[in-house]
Amino acid sequence: MPENWTIDRVRKALASKKISARELATDYYERIAARNPELNAYLTLSQDRAFAQADRMDALVAAGKALPPLAGVPLAVKDVISTRGVRTTCGSKVLENYIPPYDATAVERLEAAGAVILGKTNCDEFAMGSSNENSAYGPVRNPEALDRVPGGSSGGSAAAVAAGLAVVSLGTDTGGSIRQPGALCGIPAMMPSYGRVSRYGLIAFASSLDRIGPFATNVRDVAAVLQIIAGRDANDSTSTTAPVPNYQAEAEKPVKGLRIGIPKEYFGAGMDPEVREKVEAGIEVLRKLGCEIREIRMPHTDYAIAVYYIIATAEASSNLARYDGVRYGLRVDGDSLLSMYRKTRGAGFGAEVKRRIVLGTYVLSAGYYDAYYLKGQKVRALIAQDFRDAFTKVDAIVTPTSPVPAFKLGERTNDPLQMYLADIYTVTGSLAGVPGISVPCGKVCGKLPVGLQIFGPPFGEGRVLQLAQAFESAGGAGL
């Protein structure tokens, strides 16, 4: 049985009856049993649901019927995305025993396309973190180096795919939480444009930034998953009505003649010299493929981290107010309503979530709203304008995904600012609403993966996938 399944290989093996969907799901559960104790990538497994779906796919094969696009494909889902009847904790004690009564739209669409949902993956609490060390259920370890972080907040989803414990997975990206773990674990990982994929069923962190996107072992599979989950959803008023192109066909288009912008601001102080070397070698690969490389300026980049941590924390403060011991999740009784609020939130939320709630409440408070939140929104508009201006001159923008390779577990936990700076190259695209992908771009120190980030214009996922596919086909991962 192949160790490294892809969507295409699963479909062909099922159609030719070389393996059944149930046998494949069983194989993946055996892999999880063997490796998850050291990786901590999964928090909850959904065997009953997975085997029921696998049996449905096997019945289609037995009847000689056409198979849906993701028939039998083992899939992992980040634990901030709702799954009917399957525990969804957000990596928090507040929701330790929460079982949603409905599926997120993305989950519903993937299961309708034949995917087999193996379980829910570990993540930073409420998706707040850059290392997956903020989970109430312990950190995830990087499959490439067990003493290192996998990146965050979607570290479990990245580690599961990188370790061969799922063929594809879903994560969420608010400021880099798909792309950065993809880079650190050495797999392709995509953040679609804001509004391209429905957020219905995604438990909110920062509603103007949160996005659902795929991880896979190759760009073609990223495109295949995005194809299924993209598109308008009546349950999400922020989802776009823009038509969904054929992403797999877009990914196969030649890249010769495309203009690639390299922003000088993304290659500044704090960048690991070996990471810089790999990314510059990656840019040369694109040049050799016939792309025109242009240096561009994105002058407001330096303000991105500050702006992100004003806007994201403000929205988190608002969204997490619902966890009060009355309406959702954990309840710790006290001798008054205020006492119950304090005890519930004190016991239920971890340190990083509390830090962000306090920051967000502060920037929204009387006297500080104009000085911080309003100003932050104005600078966000300037960052978005940087991208719009750039896309009048170039077809895509290429940058490093992370300034450093995977750092050691515990290395940054006592220095929140250093932790926040891990997202310095990803938050800009989040604030601007544009799509971005991280693709593997070699390794440093012999084993630590580096990611190359490609941004496209709003709803230009096809262009992003086109460049990512060309880069991957040209051997970019082996630099």
Active site residues: 78, 153, 177
Contact 331, 340 (CB under 8 A): yes
DSSP state of 266: G
What are residue 212's DSSP bridge partners?
172
* List of E strands, 23-95: 42-45, 74-78
Number of DSSP helices (H) and strands (E) in the chain, helices first: 16, 11
Q: How far is CA 373 from CA 152, 257, 354, 364, 386, in A?
A: 25, 41, 19, 6, 20
191 contacts: CB under 8 Å, gap ≥ 6: 173, 178, 179, 211, 213, 429, 430, 435, 436, 437
Distance of CA 101 to the CA centre of its chain: 24
Q: Cis link prior to 153 (omega < 30° from 0)?
A: yes
Amino acid at the residue 463: R
Residue 64 and residue 183: Cα distance in Å, rounded? 40
220 contacts: CB under 8 Å, gap ≥ 6: 6, 7, 8, 248, 251, 469
Residue 195 and residue 240: Cα distance in Å, rounded? 5
